[in-house]
Structure 1
């Protein structure tokens, strides 16, 4: 017995919920269901529960374009973001559409039937077969089952607690304890002040190399005042437009005048450290935005470092010992708890085994059409957010485009759409662009590749995407549309099971 689904959304995180809301508004004729392998919505914002977990993008752009973020907080805590997503679920009546504890095992596209045959394991670990006309992958780009974990020599000798932030122990007691956090990215710079303020004896951030960090206000006072004078949605749209412009302006300036931006960022950090911490720990060897720029609210990281409750070491690990970490410089860091905040393990489509007529789908040899659809793969879209702006900005423009595409197909009676790839466009760089971060470099064997020109070139430019996707024509010669053979449809039509 098979279950029929018109549009199957894989993942009930910020992308899946956003797509579902847009479909509800813009393509109400399309029936959809959401598969979620976890027991709750939220994706990233349900999985990560370490102290201080928060957004690293401002909430006026991290919120959806159709739902104002009703707080003046610039950066929001994880639970607040999950609460916001729950509001969207309630407002669009999505709860009954979400199938929790359902894991997609494999998905095969049948070119004769022009449908996806999806094998799913349900909450009772029973296998089901779902048949979908269109699939939207909203699983993000990292492995939920494990983070990236370097092979530290001597790790098994450590007598304390060794923790990966992706699997934070519930009710971990770190009061009075010596904590070493390995890493210098968004997770590490969030954990350091949170654990230091939370009662840790001392927190040390151990980094192999420094990261650019910008301090931003925790409260948007201008937005707060506008909300009192203007209608909520107007204040939100104005603030959102301003922040999108600021984000784009900083990124563009970093590309054109990297030394100027570098000087400004380092000067700001120097002023906040007030001579209490050596600037070598915050002076990267690369240019701004060669790796993602990290942000901290109200300079909380710098304040805690100045106080002496936390410190930073820039060194390499020789080995883990029974009582801490031996550095290559000869220094030994004593630790009761070691937190390995060393990044994500990249994974596409949640590790789903994808095939077309039984032939393996190798995503590393594909490109993204309009940054949304996978080359030569029928009836499928995939959401990958921006590397240099809020993830949700991409969700909004991609969702609008997908709705327009589905409406176009319905209007013209098409059952299948394929973005026909051009291998002469294929480049070695992935769709993540020019970032040199470790997790990006490790993604080359799974990530779709960059194309040389539009519509295969992923610009990571929201303003350009918004215009391009809004005005994109579907009769461009790249998208190929087909109708199902009526005789095949009659022979293969499965029974509907609720």
Structure 2
């Protein structure tokens, strides 16, 4: 928008970590020029995966060091006179929430060229000419684009029932990050919060195919992750973002141990989902139970 609008203002309640990365991967381009395409692809893919895992682990082990490095990069981009402390220094540690990547420093360049600005404040009210802020300042605007209010739902909002019993996903535990305790024949793909989303989705699809093949081989039409009440419950996502916290009452839980624990780690998930055992004792492969002749009658009549 900053390329065509007279001026763009990004209004935020609080800062987030913003990191500039090249729009094109120079190493990947060099590898493609020297190696067969598939080999260059595999090297580039694993290089990026491993770097992402390394960076996330560093953020967890040395949060203050990583925080200062990220803020230092912004200071280098915007110079000593810019108020990085107000607009680009979050109250939380790196990877407590997602990071924001900008290609080729485009956001920082727009700020330096006065085509865009960042304002950190809260909205008091909308006015005929823009937005009045809690600080008393008014932002004049011809167009206001809202970018907040994200609401998470499970399984696309589908209403799921098992034998007439409605399923409350908040009372279930996630099995290997894709199925739900005591809910048969249902899986959904949910990607990583700390890496490329599709990495986990790819593994999930592979694992579902392995489950289906096992069902065919065993001639069992039901695959059921059997819940274990002895496993300690944890929040499904270890994330402090507001949209995650607001959804805590609808999201499933994760467990403290396998196969109920959500690792957010591609290498560990690959070991489990691509090469690990499908028939693991928790995922039960069953045939339908025969229905008794009077099971479809009203309970009062059956009790007589």
- TM-score, length of structure 2 as denominator length: 0.92
The question of 1:212 aligning with 2:46 is answered no
Residue 239 (1) aligns with residue 30 (2): no
Provide Cα deviations, 1:274-325, integer angstroms capped at 9, x if missing partner: 2353112001111001110110011110110011111111111111111111
Tell me what 1:413 maps to.
219
> Could you tell me how far 1:232 is from its partner in structure 2?
1.0
Structure 1 residue corresponding to 2:162, chosen from 353, 356, 362:
356
Aligned to 2:127: 321
Higher strand fraction (1 or 2): 1
Structure 2 equivalent of residue 165 of structure 1: none
Report runs of 4+ in structure 1 exceeding 4 Å deviation.
Answer: 485-488
User: Residue 26 of structure 2 corresponds to which residue in structure 1?
Assistant: 221
Residue 330 of structure 1 and its aligned partner are, at CA, apart by 0.9
Tell me the residue number matched to 1:275: 80
What secondary structure, in the 3-state scheme, does the structure 1 residue paired with 2:19 have?
A: strand
How far is 1:233 from its partner?
1.1
What is the 5 A alignment of 1:72-471? 195-197=1-3, 199-275=4-80, 277-279=82-84, 280-430=86-236, 432=237, 434-471=238-275
**Greater relative contact order (Cα 8 A, min sep 6): structure 1 or 2?**
1
After TM superposition, give the deviation of residue 354 of structure 1 in Å. Answer: 0.8
Instruction: State the secondary structure of the residue aligned to 2:194.
Output: coil
CA offsets 1:196-244 (integer angstroms, 9 cap, x no match): 11x2111111111000011101111111121122111111110000000
Q: CA deviation at 1:485?
A: 5.9
Report if aligned partners of 2:210, 2:278 keep a CA contact under 8 Å in 1.
no
Q: How many residues align structurally?
A: 291
The Cα of 1:454 is off from its aligned counterpart by 0.8
Distance 1:487 1:443, change over 3 A: closer
Unaligned ranges ≥5, structure 2: 293-304
Deviations 1:171-210 (A, max 9, x none): xxxxxxxxxxxxxxxxxxxxxxxx111x211111111100
Q: Distance in 2 between matches of 1:306 and 1:424?
A: 56
| Unaligned runs of at least 5 residues, structure 1 | 1-194, 489-498
Could you tell which deviates more after superposition, 442-451 or 380-389? 442-451
Larger Rg: 2
Q: Where does residue 296 of structure 2 map in the other structure?
A: none
Specify the SS of the correspondent of 1:425.
coil
RMSD (CA atoms): 1.6
Alpha-carbon distance in 2 for matches of 1:355, 1:475: 25
Q: CA shift at 1:487, angstroms?
A: 9.3
Deviation digits for residues 5-35 of structure 1, max 9, x if unmatched? Answer: xxxxxxxxxxxxxxxxxxxxxxxxxxxxxxx
SS at match of 2:144: strand
Q: CA deviation at 1:424?
A: 3.0
